[in-house]
Every structure is written in C-alpha cells, then in structure tokens.
Structure 1
C-alpha cells in the first residue's frame, strides 16, 4: 500500500451527482446537479475532469467516458441527516449528524429571537425573510444606511445572516452583532449552523457590492474529527476557502481565505509549490453560492470550466508522493424548484501519478471515506465515535 506525503482534498461545493435513495423525504426526488447542468447547456468542456474519469462515474452528454481514466472513482452516499454544508463537511472528517440544523426559510425567525437580538445589539431589525443577498440589499440597504436599522435574513440553509455597510454600520459593529446572534442561536429551538456577517459597500440601489470581509460564526463540530487527529500528530493541516469557518478553526494549522473559487484554486496551486507534510483541504463555494442557489445552470457550467482549467494547472504540480481527491458536500441542482440544496450523492475522484491506473470503486456508504483515507495514509487513528472506511488500499 502506497502512502503519500501530501494530500489535496478539494470540495466542489454542491456538485451532486444524483438523488439519494431517501431524497423523497427531503422533497428532492429526481435531482441531479451535474447531470441536469450537462443537459441544460449547449457545451461543457471539462477535459481534465474527463481524463480523471468523471464521465465514467456519471454518464454525461458533454463529458465522455474514457478508456483509461487516471483516477479511481466512486459515488458517495450521505450517512448524516440533512443536506447542509456543515453536515457534509463534518461527515467527510468522520462526524455523523443525526439531527438536521434548524432552518427558518418559510416564516423567518421567531419574534422572541429578534426581540432579544434587537435589545442586545441596540438596532431595530428589518428584513427577517429568506432572500438573495444581493436582492435584499437593493430592497433594504438604503433604509439601513439612513436609519441604522439592521438587515437580518436567512436562506434555504441553516443560517442567520446580518448585513452591514462597511462605511456607515462599520465592520466592528457588524461583527459584534453577529457574535451576539451566535450566542443567542445556540439555544436548541433557534440553533442554526452558521451566523454570517455580510458586509457591503455602496450608497444606493444598484451600486451595492458585498465585500470579501464576510465572516462565518459556525458551530464547533460535535467532537474531534480527522483534522484534530492529524494536527495532534504534528502534521500540517492547511485550509483554503470556507474550511476554517465550517470547522470553526478546529484541527487546522494554517488557514487561507479565498475571494472566489478561482482564487481558491490559485491558492491551492501556490501551496502545491511548497514542501509540507499533511493535508490541504479546499472548499470552492462559488458553485453553490453564485450559481446553485440562484438556479443558474449556465453560470454553474462556466464555473466548472474555470475550475477544470485551474485543475489542469494543479495536476502539473502533483507528484508521485501526492494524492489528489475531489468530492462535494451536497447537491444544489440549478434546474430544480426553489433555491435549496438537494439531497444527492457526491463524486469521489482520487488521483496520483504513482497510481497504477484508474477505475471504479464500489459505492461508499458515507462521505467519511475522505477523512478515513487521509488518516490511514498518515498512520493516524480516527477519533473515537467517528465513522468512515478508508479506501487507501484500493487506490493502487
């Protein structure tokens, strides 16, 4: 069994590959993020994912199955209850979530929560509905700037989001209010996965732009994960993108904030030029945030093509002692109704130049194959109570 010095785990956020068997319980029967994007666009050029074997894993119109795929590939089932970013990522690292996080998509947040939040922050609250972040700014930001009111809103995810103009509301005040909201939403009946600070600039409708100073206040994982086990053994655990926020910094030795998914890949390519011993864990959020939730298959397809181009650059830096794994955390079918995530299986592609060829692996019962494989690679025991079975011995 070969062991690798560096592992790169890239999460293409929301790239589902077909409905889970229990998708009907979530109202997601028939969903297929990748398949429906492929069917909705006139072209989809993904030469690097194609040669890894994406078309072998999931038959597509524009991405062909190849005779000699470079990667070992499988579809992964989700063992946890839910279809959330945190649920998916925590499961990758060994934690099974049995109770989904609270969502307030239909009716907004309870009056009792908002009254307490207003009292503690000193701001009157406006909004309180599920909305697109850009649309709610056009609707309410001028009022917030003029009055000092605070925009609070949610989405199809388990989130409470607060907007603040960087010049008039101030970043420090926005972060203070979000910290209070995080404290309040630790109560079981109000518990959300994340409180998100959404800073923006601009003074009038049509000119508002959200900035890169977003900050997520996530729940801490419910127990130690593969990340903690790696860090405790003195290995490097480098994050790119939202990973720090999703795990609230737990188990990480270095964090890199990304401005976009393309930037996240550029950061990963730079990290691949370094000498380190451990894991580089990457989340590329734009697939989900910019295109899935906004139900834009053409935008999603274009993002996939941009990713594929950067993937080719990264693969040039992957050596015999490196393992590249590509997966996802849930689905977000842009052809589906509503704006919610979709309960789907996700891809697993594993590649190293030193492997003796690619091919199919058996369908895996949980996303935790990722953390378990990384842990076995570095000779680290998974923490007690975690789930997951390694496929390191099947990678060749």
Structure 2
C-alpha cells in the first residue's frame, strides 16, 4: 500500500481565481510575481514540472517533468488556512467564516473580558501582527490589557507579553474565547494565541509558543475516514491545530520550515502504510504577510534544496503531492491572503491519470486521490488524479 504524503507550502498561489475580484485579489499571482521580481531559481521543482503549470519568469518549462502537474481551484468560500486545509481533506464550505473588518462587536469583547477577568482590551480592529505589538506593546505593559486584533481572515487574535500574562494563561483565555464566545454566528475559523517578549522598540513574537484554536471540523473528512480504516495519520507543522488536535495518530509541531522538513525526512524513514500531512508555514507567516518577496523566494529555494532528499525517501509504492492552501502575494499592497489557484505536483508521474493534470475543480481532488491510493470508497466532492486500474 505505501505512504501518502501531502506537503502544503503555505500561501503558494499561482494566479487569481475567476472570483478573486470579489475578494479584492484580481491582480494577485503569488508565485509568478515572486519569480518575476526576484528571478528566483527553483531547479528541483522545475524538474518536477512547476514551470509547466503557469508561465514563470525564472522557472522554465521542462520537457520531461517528474510529476503530474496542474493547478486546483478552491470551491469553498474563503481564502484562509482553515478553509484551504479543510478542502484538501474533503470538507467544502458553502459560506465563509465570519470576518470583522470593523472589529468585533461590543458583546463579543465584553464576554471575552468577563471570561478573561480583564477590564478591557486594546485595539480590536484589523492590524498587522508585528505592527500591533510595536504600536500597543508599551500600553499593554503598563495596563496589562490584552491586545485583541483581527485581519481580513476569520481570526480572533490575542497578543500578550509573557512578563505580563504567562503563556498558559493566554492559552486559557483563548480556549475560553473559542468555547464560549466565538461560536454560532461569531464562529471564526481560528482563535490564535500570540505571546511576545522583549522591550519597547524590540518586541518579538514567540513563534513556537503560538497556538491556534480552530473551529471543530465536520466529522466527514479524509483524516477520519483513514483512521476508521486503520490507517495511521501524521501531522507536521500547524495542520493539527486546524483540525482541533484531533484526527491524527501523532503530530509534531514545528518552529520553522527547516524543522518541518527535518521532521518529514525523519518520519519518512520510520512510517509505513500511513498518511502524512505537512504544512510549511514560513512563506506565509514570515514573508507573505510581511510583503517580503525576497524572503519568500529564499524560503522557496530552501524547500527546493530539500526536494532531492525528500524524493530519495519516496519508496516505489509511495505517493507524494505538493500544493498550497491559498495565495499570499508579497508583491501586492495587501498583507492579507489572496484568492488564488494553487499548484499541484504529483510524484511519481507514472501514477498520475495524465501528465498534465489541468485545472482541477476543487482542492478536494487531493482527498479523493489519497482515498483512491489507500483503496477507500468515499463520497468527497472531487476526482482522483490517479490512474484507474
């Protein structure tokens, strides 16, 4: 049977979807713009067929790609990590999670304050995560009031300095918000704890102590189906948080992409007949949101250098798929995610139904492909990309 690996390069879009204008993203094309601005060379992903999916200034077409290659359309409403990863796992949303461009309504904030035992919060509006602690960190130190902010995504983020609010207490606040406040019509996709440290002028977020409290996913998804069939499931990176710490036999959180790649290589040597779901977050968290095209390019090159080691560990009966979960164009004027197609690379190419996989109608084609690989019957909305026997 073998192992099935799905690697999500967070924020890796390959061009605006047809409905992108509704999200304000009609001009975005994360990968093409990064390649055009930085002349980023990705020789290993080029050999896989990345440059065959869309025109890329610095990643040419290859005549004999090693992977089935194409792009996938997001059918669910939204452009956030939860929506993207859920659709990859076979869950499709007809309505987007709620967003709060004007900040959260007073009853939500008042209920949060009551549960957290604080008089008030600071900010309560969309804000850059690094800018908000720079602009309000001093007031937070002086008052102890938590910093609450959001973004264009469906998130309720709580930042607190570790010298003012111990991390475990911050987690308790966020768990309270998730379970008691942000439910029903205010059921945001994620509540995120954002601890930080340092002094005014040099505040730094503690990325490895960040914790995401996701909304509970529907029970009918690829991960549950695999577990029911006795197939072990593994998470590397933030995936486990997007599925409420459920649906996985084992999970390994990571601080950065280098650790994620190391954990993947280690796991590939140890597991058999398993499903491994990986998120590499740095492209999105460190560079896409910071509008740093050069950093985004270097991050892609870091992953590209790891491709030979990863492919060497793919056994004859294994399957590897590489994709994204949404766009995050660092050359745009927006620090938010973008509504884009995402790439899909399927290795080995001999397993693919055809070398050019075209434009897939849903991210859930990955769930259908994984189910097909393990010989499972499902009714996910989508189509397998594997050859029919």
1:121 aligns with 2:137: no
User: 1:28 — aligned with what?
Assistant: 25
User: 2:286 — aligned with what?
Assistant: 290
CA contact (8 A) 1:68 1:357 kept: no
Which runs of structure 1 show a deviation greater than 4 angstroms over 4 or more consecutive aligned residues?
353-358
Superposed CA RMSD in Å reads 1.9
Question: Which of 8, 11, 23 is equivalent to 1:11?
Answer: 8
In 2, Cα distance between the equivalents of 1:9 and 1:275?
14
CA contact (8 A) 2:108 2:182 kept: no
User: 2:178 — aligned with what?
Assistant: 182
CA contact (8 A) 2:268 2:313 kept: yes
Q: CA deviation at 1:353?
A: 8.0
In 1, Cα distance between the equivalents of 2:352 and 2:279?
28
CA contact (8 A) 1:241 1:256 kept: yes
Question: Which of 63, 87, 106 is equivalent to 1:111?
Answer: 106
In 1, Cα distance between the equivalents of 2:206 and 2:151?
16
Q: CA deviation at 1:146?
A: 2.9
In 1, Cα distance between the equivalents of 2:187 and 2:337?
19
Relative to the length of structure 2, the TM-score reads 0.95
- Structure 2 unaligned segments of length 5 or more: list them: none
1:80 aligns with 2:76: yes
Give runs of aligned pairs for residues 221-370 of structure 1, distance below 5 A.
Answer: 221-352=217-348, 359-370=355-366
CA contact (8 A) 1:262 1:310 kept: no
1:162 aligns with 2:165: no
Q: CA deviation at 1:368?
A: 0.5
In 2, Cα distance between the equivalents of 1:148 and 1:296?
32
Stretch moving more, 208-217 or 322-331:
208-217
State the aligned residue count.
Answer: 388
CA contact (8 A) 2:217 2:243 kept: yes
CA contact (8 A) 1:69 1:358 kept: no
In 1, Cα distance between the equivalents of 2:9 and 2:352?
25
In 1, Cα distance between the equivalents of 2:200 and 2:173?
23
Q: CA deviation at 1:336?
A: 2.1
CA contact (8 A) 2:352 2:387 kept: no
